[in-house]
Amino acid sequence: MNLTPIFRASGLLMLAGLLTLPACFSNNRVIGGGGSGNNGSEQGAMFLTQVEWGRLVDVVDQDGALAEQDIVIRPDLRLGADYSLTVNPVTEAETLTILQYSQGTAGFDALLSAAISNLPTVSLKGPASPSPYTQVARNAAIRLNFSRPVKASTVNADTIQFWVGDGNASPADGRYIVDNDEENGLGYVIFDPTISGRQSAELGLPQNASGFRASFDSINDNLLLRIPTAVNVFDGRPEVLESAGGRTIRIASSDPLTTNSDGSQNLVRSMRTGNENDPYNGFLRDNSPPSIVGLFDITLAGVTDLGGEDRRLTYNLAEAVCDGVTAKVGDVVETADGAVLLVTTVNAGAGGPYEVDATLLEGTLPGLPADPSAQLTTRYTDDDAALQTCFIRATPTAATFPAIGLEQDASLIVRFSEAIDPTTVLSMHSLVLTNFETTATAPDVTAIFRQGGEFANETVGEYIDRLRGFHLPLNNTGTAPGAEFGGRVLFGSIEVADGSREFTLTPTAGFVDADGGGSPVFALAVRDGARGITDLAGNPLEFTGFVAGATGAANMRIDCAAPAGSAVKYLALRANATDEDGDGLPEYAGQHTPGQGVFTGRPVVHFSRTSDTANDFVTGNPPTDPLTGQPIYPFEPLTPRGAVVMALWRPGDFGFGAPSTNTAYYDPNEFNIDVEGFSWSPFGGVNDDFFPRVSLSFSHARWIPDETVDLTGRAIYPASGLQASLPFVQNVLGWDEGITETTVFDSSYAVRAVDVFTAASGVEYIPWPEFTELFTFRDTAIPQSIQDGANGTGSPPAAHGLGAAAGGFYDPGSVPSIGLSLLGRFRCYNVGNIEPINQFNSYQFVANSPLPAWRVFSAGGISANGDVITVVPDNGDQGGLQPTGGWRNGTATRPDEDTIYATQADFVVRVSRAYTHWFDFGGVLPANGVRGIVVEPVEAFQLPGTDLIVEYRGSFSVTHPANPTTAPSPLTDAEKTLDLYGDFNNTSGSVSLPSAWTTDLSSLEATATEQYRYFQLRISFVANADRSLPATLDGLGIAFDITP
């Protein structure tokens, strides 16, 4: 840290050095300060007068002389004739150069004043304020302006708090810089959320090039400034901010506030950080493209003092193979004894010795040092194209520099000139290691980059996209000879270091000889352009055509001394298209949305459906008493003496497949639909009521009731609905196979008339409690071997009259989850001996029959003898486990009825499931055969609240049809050979009985009884339904070894 006095526009500030603060809750550090002053102004009250934000810079004049350090300038300052902006390669601080003027001149002062004036301000809003909120760039500094100088010893993360994230739940680390204007009696505190590598080492804070976290959207706040006004050590407030005169901060009448548990108040400002939908990806404006930088050992041959801090250096590269890599203006030379110089002029190069002029930034260099070894950090440009391999580093180092004779498990390192967006660095898309064939020619995709023919002018992106992810060529009898099964993309983990400037690629299974031909060669391709690697602000790389190892020069090749053999394979699915390998056949089927190098699930869509008279398949008949013929609308489940009600809704009862919705009953877009809310329809108005505990659990029902009647009006299929003779759980599909219910709420419930709303159907509804979990209806993750729908006509039921319009049909007893009913189990816990006061609007399907049942139940009441009957959910002795019926006017009722509750279900498209065709390992997957799996983006870079679930299953035998070039094969065509569940549809070829789906691929490794050679993938995209954020898949790589 520079300890020299620095002139500021507001006065003279001495950077007092690093302070070890007494705060015990944070590692954040404070720089600077200033004395209390002698003008007496600090004796008045201290207010926060304004919060501003901008770019934190050091300022130099046209001669490079430092004029200001750590000041905030306008983020929209236009560069050009008056200003330039660079990054100090040593400190990583941004430096603003005021061109054409030296400090101390009127022109310099005018331009500096213009740069620091009119900073954007943060609006006076708190967490409860309506949007919009002030948007602050993620890497911006925030300046707090105070009406009095600030006591620097009281500035820390306890007294000036920044909280970030959804709900402002996480503290933000950063540097606090105190700048007191003693002359005018004002105080300033700057908070810098970015931490360089050097600052990290000095301050003990995590390195952070990005600054604040990105906001989730452009509407809600996610960054909170909070300044406590009272001490409470038990609430994380061991001290408060004070003025230089010892006064605590005061609250102005316009300040937004929050209140602590002890009643004290916090002064606050709510903001929104940038995100990818904002200019420059939500970061400060940045028009400088990034580049790769190389680190080269050099030997100094001469040092000439040119006066002041300027030196002339003569040097040679330590590795002669890289001769031709010349220094550029802005490069850095670091000597063995700690001197750091910035190259300002390149005098001689192209083969060495090299000569440059440089300015000393740190240390001393009076002449040629005793130890002449040094290091040159230089930026890659297109002029270095013949020496690309020199710009990557290997660890362990290669036998012959730079990359000949690598070890089999070596890693490759690429360093960039600035912080890179790590989500753009992907081992299957943008930083790609591949094994190519030196003798291959176009159109063979194993040919070297720009080999000739149709590949002569390809871009790096086109080269990467043509690389083979897997290999299963066909002929008219089956798999053709020479199939590699795996591909040529050697994907692996990517380690991010040094503030997102350095990336280390470690191939999952090491370097391999894909075809077993011997002496394999490799290339490392770096994708440029908009779809390639970018910096944080979204700027693409400044160069093109970087494919190290592909120049053809023998000394620039990348090879491995002892690569793994062809039994070790890399299989990569890279989401470039539904047809991954360009054979005209789709690798994927099911619910997915292809993009450019990325797959997502279906878009998040929220919609509601009602089971009322607006529905094509719901009758408008009221439920009637069979003896009196009078309507009898149920009170269950809101029965104060306790109740358990199990009710179902067929897909058609919510309009799925109904003519009015213009969809087929088996429309795949209407599978995997989550229920996120439920509302019931009151009959005869709403009476306010309260229940301490009510719950609702969802599952799929075993049944699909059919209300078809005979000529006498009697139900033909009375047993097709819920079964009251069984325990409640035996109505749940798959209960015996381990499928359980999902409880979507379990809470108190206040019934209030003010909550009534009118649905689009025109029927009034009132919501049940807010869900804490979602339930996936028509879920294709339930194996279709678990099926039911017995005792009826199948699905869709005959009563719907859909026929061919359904888009499919399942026979009775063979109906899987997509054709069965939504099943809800309501539990209402005992309140007391109180009469129910709210009735439920419902409809009866068969006028003169209680069956088939849409609901079965147990409910408390009063018997004819005046006995109080209480139902206790989940208590078998008190009607909680099996339907026992209820009580009406002292008479016990049946436990089953053919009445459906009028309900509005709120649905959301959240889960999407896609399936691949079957793949051939190339041999039985042996024990310990799985070498690793890479999913990109990695979990840390998936959008918040989303999930990507990859599952596998194996098969002993998968065969092609007689001629797979003319008939669809389960090994090449997902669309024509898979059904709605991803199961083989017996079109052509064969698939032996597969194993169960698993998230653990190693469970398919060979045992004494199970020997799998073939595998299939199921990919579930789970979106963030609240924020409409999709789960994404950029690449999926499986490395395995089929050596017996």
pLDDT (0 to 100) of residue 14: 29
pLDDT per position as a tens digit, 1026-1042:
999 999 999 999 999 99
Assigned fold of 292-379: Elongation Factor Tu (Ef-tu); domain 3 (2.40.30)
Task: Select the more confidently predicted residue: 261 or 679.
Answer: 679
53 pLDDT tier (thresholds 50, 70, 90)? very high
Contacts of 344 (CB under 8 A, 6+ apart): 310, 329, 356, 357, 358, 359
Q: How many CB atoms lie within 10 A of CB 128?
A: 10
What gap in Å lies between CA 819 and CA 825, rounded to an integer?
19
- CATH no., domain 6-54+123-282: 2.60.40.1220
The CA angle 593-595-597, to the nearest 5 degrees, is 125
Contacts of 362 (CB under 8 A, 6+ apart): 90, 338, 339, 340
- Over residues 467-479, mean pLDDT: 96
What gap in Å lies between CA 596 and CA 311, rounded to an integer?
50
pLDDT (0 to 100) of residue 28: 52
Averaged confidence pLDDT in the chain: 92
SS (H, E, C) 762-814: CCEEEECCCCCCCEEECCCCCCCCCCECCCCCCECCHHHCCHHHHCCCECCCC
φ and ψ of 457, to 5 deg: -115, 25
> For tokens 């069956």, what's the residue?
851
**Is the confidence at residue 982, as pLDDT, over 90?**
yes
pLDDT (0 to 100) of residue 660: 84
596 pLDDT tier (thresholds 50, 70, 90)? confident
- Over residues 318-329, mean pLDDT: 93
Amino acid at 658: A
> For tokens 């919060």, what's the residue?
51
**Is the confidence at residue 684, as pLDDT, over 80?**
yes
* Residues forming a β-bridge with 298: 317, 374
Sign of the CA dihedral 43, 48, 50, 51? positive
Specify burial of residue 278 (Cβ count, 10 A radius: 0-12, 13-18, 19+). middle
Query: Whole-structure pTM over 0.85, yes or no?
Result: yes
Domain parsing of the chain, residue ranges:
6-54+123-282, 292-379, 432-573, 588-601+913-1041, 608-908
pLDDT (0 to 100) of residue 30: 58
16 pLDDT tier (thresholds 50, 70, 90)? very low
Closest CA to 153 of 330, 344, 303, 18: 18
CB 445 within 8 A of CB 507: no
Token pair, residue 967, equals 């008939």
The CA angle 199-202-205, to the nearest 5 degrees, is 65
Residue 201: its H or E element: helix 197-203
661 pLDDT tier (thresholds 50, 70, 90)? confident
- Over residues 994-1007, mean pLDDT: 98
- Over residues 863-869, mean pLDDT: 93
- Over residues 445-456, mean pLDDT: 96
- Over residues 548-557, mean pLDDT: 92
pLDDT (0 to 100) of residue 15: 28
What gap in Å lies between CA 507 and CA 194, rounded to an integer?
31
Q: What is the DSSP string of 533-587?
A: -BBTT-PBPS---EEET-S--GGG-EEBSS-B-TTEEEEEE--S-SSSSSSSS-S
**Is the confidence at residue 792, as pLDDT, over 90?**
yes
pLDDT (0 to 100) of residue 65: 84
pLDDT per position as a tens digit, 402-445:
999 999 999 999 999 999 999 999 999 999 999 999 999 999 99
| 91-105, 121-135, 901-915: segment of lowest average pLDDT | 91-105
pLDDT (0 to 100) of residue 747: 98
How far is residue 189 from each of residues 34, 174, 175, 213, 243, measured CA to CA in Å?
A: 12, 12, 10, 21, 12
Pairing assessment for the beta strands 588-590 and 911-916 based on DSSP bridges: antiparallel
Reported in sequence order, the residue ranges of 318-453 that DSSP labels E, i.e. its strands, are: 332-335, 340-348, 354-362, 373-379, 393-395, 411-416, 431-436
- Over residues 178-189, mean pLDDT: 94
**Is the confidence at residue 165, as pLDDT, over 80?**
yes
pLDDT (0 to 100) of residue 19: 28
Centroid of chain to Cα 173 = 22
pLDDT (0 to 100) of residue 972: 98
| 339-348, 606-615, 698-707, 726-735: segment of lowest average pLDDT | 339-348
- Over residues 203-225, mean pLDDT: 94
- Over residues 49-56, mean pLDDT: 98
CB 503 within 8 A of CB 489: no
41 pLDDT tier (thresholds 50, 70, 90)? very low
